[in-house]
Structure 1
Amino acid sequence: MKVGEYLRVPYLVTAQSVERPDGSWARHVEHPELPDCTAEAESIVDALTQLETKRIETVVSLLKSGRTPPMRPYLLGDVQARQRVRRAGLAEKIEPLWDTDASSMRVG
């Protein structure tokens, strides 16, 4: 499979409001299917934006370590997935990898 196909997987998102030690509240979001793929911010929009960046980085990191990210029987469209990469500010880093065979990503 190509790297771009793994980046098209629509992972489950969970969200909850959590109280911080100082008494303020934050929105905590995560992709429970991916290791350590969480984000927290005051606004849900900011938390989800951070989570999207973390998802992309986590999937690429898993591939580089030789592990296969969880898959689904359906994928997001190619254009939609590429737009998510651009919005996350990772286009320069990820676009060159998009059509790379994921098995060739392994480092070490």
Structure 2
Amino acid sequence: MTLEEFLAIPYVMAVESYEGPDGEWFRRASYPELPECTVEGFWAVDIIDKLEELRVRRIIELYQKGEEIPVPRAPLRSAMPVLNREQLEFAKYLVEHGHLTDQR
């Protein structure tokens, strides 16, 4: 599979709210089918955006290392990212040099 196909795999997203030890409520979002792909925060909208960034970064990292990427279902052809080679290389550069993080 190509990197673009891996990026188009529709992973199941899980979002939950939980109460912290001090009584504040937090949100946790994850792609349970993709290892090390979980984020936490106060606002669901923010963590979903961060989770999507993390999903892309994780898939690129696994792909570049030649490690197995979970494929629980076929890629969505309609969701294939429309990236030209230059954009894809730039995304890889950002991941390799630590410029693409889940911090805002």
Task: State TM-score, norm by structure 2.
Answer: 0.71
Q: Kindly, what percent of the aligned residue pairs are identical?
A: 31
Q: Distance in 2 between matches of 1:94 and 1:53?
A: 15
Structure number with higher relative contact order (C-alpha < 8 Å, ≥ 6 residues apart): 1
Q: Distance in 1 between matches of 2:18 and 2:7?
A: 29
2:41 is aligned to 41
1:88 is aligned to none
Q: Note closer, same or farther for the CA distance 1:61–1:72 as it changes in structure 2 (3 Å cut).
A: same
Q: Note closer, same or farther for the CA distance 1:97–1:5 as it changes in structure 2 (3 Å cut).
A: farther
Number of residue-to-residue matches in the alignment: 90
- Which amino acid in the other structure matches residue 35 of structure 1? P
Q: Note closer, same or farther for the CA distance 1:65–1:8 as it changes in structure 2 (3 Å cut).
A: same
> In the alignment, is residue 96 of structure 1 matched against residue 89 of structure 2?
yes
How far apart are 1:36 and its partner, in Å?
Answer: 1.0
Q: Which runs of 5+ in 1 are unaligned?
A: 86-90, 99-108
> In the alignment, is residue 31 of structure 1 matched against residue 31 of structure 2?
yes
1:51 is aligned to 51
Task: State TM-score, norm by structure 1.
Answer: 0.69
How far apart are 1:74 and its partner, in Å?
Answer: 2.8
- Cα distance per residue 1:1-56 (max 9 Å; x no partner): 21101000010111110222332111101011111100112111111101000000
Q: Distance in 1 between matches of 2:49 and 2:38?
A: 11
How far apart are 1:72 and its partner, in Å?
Answer: 3.9
